[in-house]
Chains A and B, each alone.
Chain A
């Protein structure tokens, strides 16, 4: 069993220093020249998942030749060297190419893959399926496929299998669904019933089921324009098909007469017809409140919104519309006898109602001061004339600005630990990231 592998090792040792292409040629000659050997030496298959063009710049090639002489090179170094230039997908692919080309034996591929997995977020390829497939392709093919029942029974090449499982795990954490290429690669590398294959099957079982589990999906790429983003957020909060978004003011810079530059914030608001109706019914002697800012998390982005609300009406203020027998022209709207619903048919739950008071409108702006919000209220007044008579109180918390700044500084200092990053995105494609207000503040402070 091990003899061809020993032979391979010997040969490569002897050939150290020569180019990889020649190495393959040399490898082939002795094996073909020894027909008496019962087991034919297997060569490495190029896989369908490998990249088509492998044009490696000359400098990298040279560099890698030099590096090869040092036997205990850490693969992180390789990435870090490249990272100094640019952290892109192309660069990442190049590094992988260099590794695969450098040594036909792919010595240290497990370490290399672990290193690559760690570096993926840095290169911004952590959500790229082709890159994962390319990494999988680093594994030599057919070598780790168990060939008898004992191998199958025990953990054959545990380190390699674990490594592949780790790779799939990372895919899973980022919500990347493997494809057919991944499967073909896994079968080629580890065989049909290996641990990575099982992992693959489990992913393929659960991911499709979870793909649409979030009824309120957030797109992977949020709109860039803050007004569009606000529009999206407001629709998301209101969740009312009737609600209408109004842009009260676009962000712009104006030069005043005195030559000062004034930046006007954008103000985007949403209101539904039923909210307008509630507002017209509001008792004008009781004030309405502008409150905020309240945070809304969209994946890794936090935005703030403000609401216009009122206190719940006092119990004596609630007027129930009396039954008007002359209301419906065609049939009685109420029956005239004294008989309630039977207990056995009362399917309503006993819910304690807490009246929270109506919310009349929501808005978003990038400058949460009173003047800006006042502008929003006056914009609202055009469609809700009642607001002219109702006293409006501003109950604003400390704006989000300092919080933002704090978060920015901290996030510059330390990246989030890997585990936290990974856990966040366990769902395929979309996941809810709306947390409670308190929770958010706490998590930010922790950072």
Chain B
């Protein structure tokens, strides 16, 4: 199935197709009308889906995506001034302290074109691909507040216009948004609605002259909500489907100039304090009918696509931040002396740096692999991969930032150093753009849905008692338990992994194959009721994230060796280390997923939580309590 978002990406990366653009758009819209409901499998999933079947779709991820020399030059030319700007002009401490990004900084960002990174050149943007966007995000992330402000503007705020806007809407809004004259915001969350679209209360009612929609309701936690000029707002509208009146979500482009819009007081936050987050209320705000994004009642898909497409850049952002932190802390570790030894000679400090390097390496690998997949012409859906990048990098980022602070000890805890700010800023990562819990559900369930479709017939056959099939399964299991190595074609004759990474590739293959049978047995055991087994799904998601990370590092390191990048031996070391560690973690998790596994404490954990949730308090007696 065609998809507007893919097409947008497609159009950006493949410039020469610009002429076809308008024609395509029209066609897409036709297709979209036919498609009533969103289904996760409506587009072909890219890579992760095959992992759930115990297969590696190596054409998707090998070789590691590259950009052309021209593009590389272009991006390097872009990166240099941005880097300079962030190092010299941006005073992060001041932004954090005053909870405001100064106007001159914003102007500097506008001049650099950072407000229109992904807007096509014809509309005055930089027209960069996802890969190049990821590269810029590495630098932008040096200041959390600016990164969030820019992301709210273009990763979600104006994305709706990019992927679902009509030509007229694009012409009207994109140029000013690209220049930064107008700033965009994305208004979806409401006091009573996070992921639950059914509880969205904001309502758009058609005025009597049928020329306007009147918007009423309140949206909360709107990044840039205080000063955004253009907002993508989602609201309930009445639609007639098959003669029955129904409420459906629609998306609107709302200008602040339309009137009836008030912004609340900016929220005082733990981190990213310079970014503006506030409540936005609509009181009979008139929105012209031509400002409806896509179809009336088609807002759900638009929201979902916007959310799914914005996540991949967090990997490179986190990696950029960690790389910066490594520079800062290694300086300290090398100069600080204790017992006539510098800190860098202590094993426990060294370990922290190794953790940081590993995390940065894996995040980078995953982020650019995913960005490359998204840039590839074609309509594959890599939203699962993007979600995996987001989960991995937000959690890895948190660990690294806190380890970096730990290297400095008490100094890191003071406001004299930027580490505490990084820790605070970093804490938002697992929360926004879909909390990691929800993304884990998305990752696991999307994969399960795919595997379920493929395996249903086979499992049903097995349940009926097809002995041949059962024996075949048994044989497969026996074979793997006797240590017969699995060959999924990563190495060997048609191998894609460099021989110096052969061992790690074997580990990945073994893990993937075991994961396939784990998924199968989970489907056998739980069927579609697996939706309710959140702890199992969490493990499944963690597993598949690890598998994807392993793939990414193997692919990247293989390429590095093959083309002889500087320090590629170090990359091999990192890749092997990460794979070895992930291998054991995966094996443990898969053991936990077995039936009646003693490693699995889920039932107890649930009981523990249930008891205290019933009482809404910690219910143990105090240790000093007596009964006689």
Chain A positions within 8 Å of B525 at CB level: 341-342, 344-345
Query: Who on chain B is nearest to A325 by CB?
Result: B37
Stretch binding the partner chain, chosen from A12-20, A330-338, A369-377, A399-407: A330-338
Cβ of B405 to closest chain A Cβ, rounded Å? 31
Partner of A342, one of B248, B249, B524: B524
Q: Knowing A207-B628, A241-B616 touch, does A327 contact B526 (C-beta < 8 A)?
A: no
CA distance A241 to B616 in the complex (A): 9
Q: Which of B558-585 contact A (CB under 8 A)?
A: none
B197 touches A329 (CB 8 A): yes
Whether the pair A331, B442 counts as a contact (CB closer than 8 A) is yes
Q: Please tell me if A208 contacts chain B, counting CB pairs below 8 Å.
A: yes
Check B195–A339 contact: CB distance below 8 A: no
Q: Taking the complex as formed, is B300 at the interface, i.e. its CB lies under 8 A from any CB of chain A?
A: yes
Q: Point out the residues of chain A lying under 8 angstroms from B300, CB to CB.
A: 326, 329
Roughly how many angstroms separate A344 CA and B38 CA in the complex, as a whole number?
33
| Residues on A with beta carbons closer than 8 Å to the beta carbon of B505 | none
Rounded to whole angstroms, the CA-CA distance of A241 and B615 in the bound complex is 8
State whether the Cβ of B166 lies closer than 8 Å to any Cβ in chain A.
no
Interface positions of B from 524 to 578, Cβ below 8 Å from A? 524-531
Complex Cα spacing A179 to B626, Å: 13
A326 in complex: contacting residue of B37, B452, B453, CB < 8 Å: B37
A179 cross-chain contacts in B, Cβ below 8 A = 628
Report yes or no: A338 in contact with B456, Cβ–Cβ below 8 A: yes
Say which residue of A177, A212, A325 sits within 8 Å of B38 (CB atoms): A325
Q: What is the 8 Å Cβ interface bit string for chain A, positions 172-193, against chain B (1 contact, 0 not)? A: 0000010100000000000000
Residues of B within 8 A of A340 (CB): 527-529
B627 to A330, Cβ gap below 8 A? no
Q: Are A208 and B453 within 8 A (Cβ)?
A: no
A341 touches B439 (CB 8 A): no
A204-B628, A208-B627, A212-B627 are known contacts. Are A332 and B527 too (CB-CB below 8 A)? Answer: no
Which B residues are in CB contact (< 8 Å) with A342?
Answer: 463, 524-527
Interface string of A331-364 (1 = CB under 8 A from B): 1111111111110110000000000000000000
A37 an interface residue at 8 Å Cβ cutoff? no
Tell me if A119 counts as interface (CB < 8 A to partner B): no
Contact residues, B13-43 vs A (CB, 8 A): 37-41
Among B54-62, B124-132, B406-414, B443-451, the stretch in contact with A: B443-451
Residues of A within 8 A of B595 (CB): 344-345
A327 neighbours in B (Cβ, 8 Å)? 196-198
Q: Could you tell me if A336 and B39 are in contact, using CB atoms closer than 8 angstroms?
A: yes
Residue of B249, B446, B453, B459 near A331 (CB, 8 A) is B446
Contact B628 A335 (CB under 8 A): no
B529 x A326 contact (CB < 8 A): no
Do B628 and A328 touch across chains, with their CB atoms under 8 A apart? Answer: no
Asked if A324 CB lies within 8 Å of chain B CBs, one says: yes
Asked if B441 and A325 sit within 8 Å, CB to CB, the answer is no
Task: Decide if B307 is an interface residue (CB 8 Å cutoff).
Answer: yes
In chain B between 586 and 614, which residues have their CB closer than 8 angstroms to a CB of chain A?
Answer: 595
- The answer to whether B441 touches A337 (Cβ under 8 A) is no
Nearest opposing residue in chain A for B625, CB measure: A212
Q: Give Cα A177–Cα B304 distance, bound, in whole angstroms.
A: 65
User: Contact: B449 with A337, CB < 8 Å?
Assistant: yes
How far, in whole Å, are A340 and B196 apart by their CA atoms in the complex?
25
B197–A332 CB distance below 8 A = no
Q: B460 on the interface (CB 8 Å rule)?
A: yes
Residues of A within 8 A of B (CB): 177, 179, 204, 207-208, 211-212, 241, 324-342, 344-345
Nearest 6 pairs of A and B residues by beta carbon: A339-B527, A208-B627, A331-B442, A337-B452, A325-B37, A335-B528
Known: A208-B628, A341-B527. 6 other contacts (CB 8 A): A179-B628, A330-B307, A332-B445, A334-B528, A337-B449, A339-B528
Chain B positions near chain A (C-beta within 8 angstroms): 37-41, 188, 195-198, 248-249, 300, 303-304, 307, 434, 438-439, 441-442, 445-446, 448-449, 452-453, 456, 459-460, 463, 523-531, 595, 616, 621, 627-628
Pull 9 A–B residue pairs with CB atoms less than 8 Å apart, ordered by A. Answer: A325-B39, A329-B196, A331-B438, A335-B445, A335-B452, A336-B449, A336-B528, A337-B528, A342-B463
